[in-house]
């Protein structure tokens, strides 16, 4: 605080202090120069940046306008055309698949009918074979029974004859 206090107005040292203060501020105190440079830099940066951003925004505006006015309608029309074409192709493919499914269903039905007919025919044939086997078995059983009876009769006759000779 004492250093900053100015000596009396009439002192001979005062002009020296004033000169030293000016020398100090010119040689050693760079704050005013730096502040001036900073202001100049900020001003230049803002001006150049502002123009650059304006150009970028203008370009974006033009691009958006071009897109909205020309590109988007063309894209929409191309999309509609392609979607309509795709829908037509899908409908055609769908109808072909439907017809193929109907044909396949009819073929399966015919095959199932043929299989059922074959199964019925096989079942009828099997029943016929079983009846035929049963008839043959009955015939064989009947022949066997008759043969057994003939043999019984023959053996009983032989036994009678033998009993005549046993008495001797």
- pLDDT tens, position by position, 145-159: 999 999 999 999 988
Is 33 within the bounds of a domain? no
Percent of the chain with pLDDT over 70: 90
Q: Which of these ranges, 1-15, 33-47, 83-97, has the smallest mean pLDDT?
A: 1-15
Q: Report pLDDT digits (tens) over 104-125.
A: 999 999 999 999 999 999 999 9
Collapse the DSSP code of 102 into the 3-class scheme (helix H, G, I; strand E, B; otherwise coil) and give the result: helix
Is 161 within the bounds of a domain? yes
Output the pLDDT for position 67.
87
Q: Report pLDDT digits (tens) over 121-144.
A: 999 999 999 999 999 999 999 999
Residue 11 burial (CB count, 10 A) = 11
Total structural domains in the chain? 1
| Domain housing 54 | 50-166
Cβ-contact 47, 55 below 8 angstroms: no
Rounded distance, CA 23 to CA 35, Å? 19
Is 32 within the bounds of a domain? no
Is 132 within the bounds of a domain? yes
């Amino acid at each position: 605080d004492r250093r900053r206090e100015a000596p009396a107005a009439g002192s001979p040292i005062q002009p020296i202090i004033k000169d030293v203060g000016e020398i100090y501020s010119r040689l050693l105190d760079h704050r005013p120069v730096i502040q001036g440079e900073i202001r100049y830099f900020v001003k230049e940066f803002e001006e150049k940046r502002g123009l650059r951003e304006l150009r970028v925004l203008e370009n974006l505006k033009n691009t958006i306008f071009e897109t909205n006015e020309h590109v988007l309608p063309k894209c929409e029309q191309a999309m509609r055309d392609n979607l309509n074409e795709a829908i037509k192709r899908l409908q055609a493919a769908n109808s072909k698949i439907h017809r193929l499914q109907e044909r396949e269903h009819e073929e399966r039905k015919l095959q199932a009918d043929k299989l059922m007919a074959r199964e019925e025919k096989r079942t009828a044939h099997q029943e016929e074979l079983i009846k035929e086997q049963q008839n043959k078995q009955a015939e064989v059983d009947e022949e066997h029974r008759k043969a057994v009876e003939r043999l019984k009769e023959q053996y009983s006759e032989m036994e009678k004859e033998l009993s005549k000779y046993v008495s001797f």
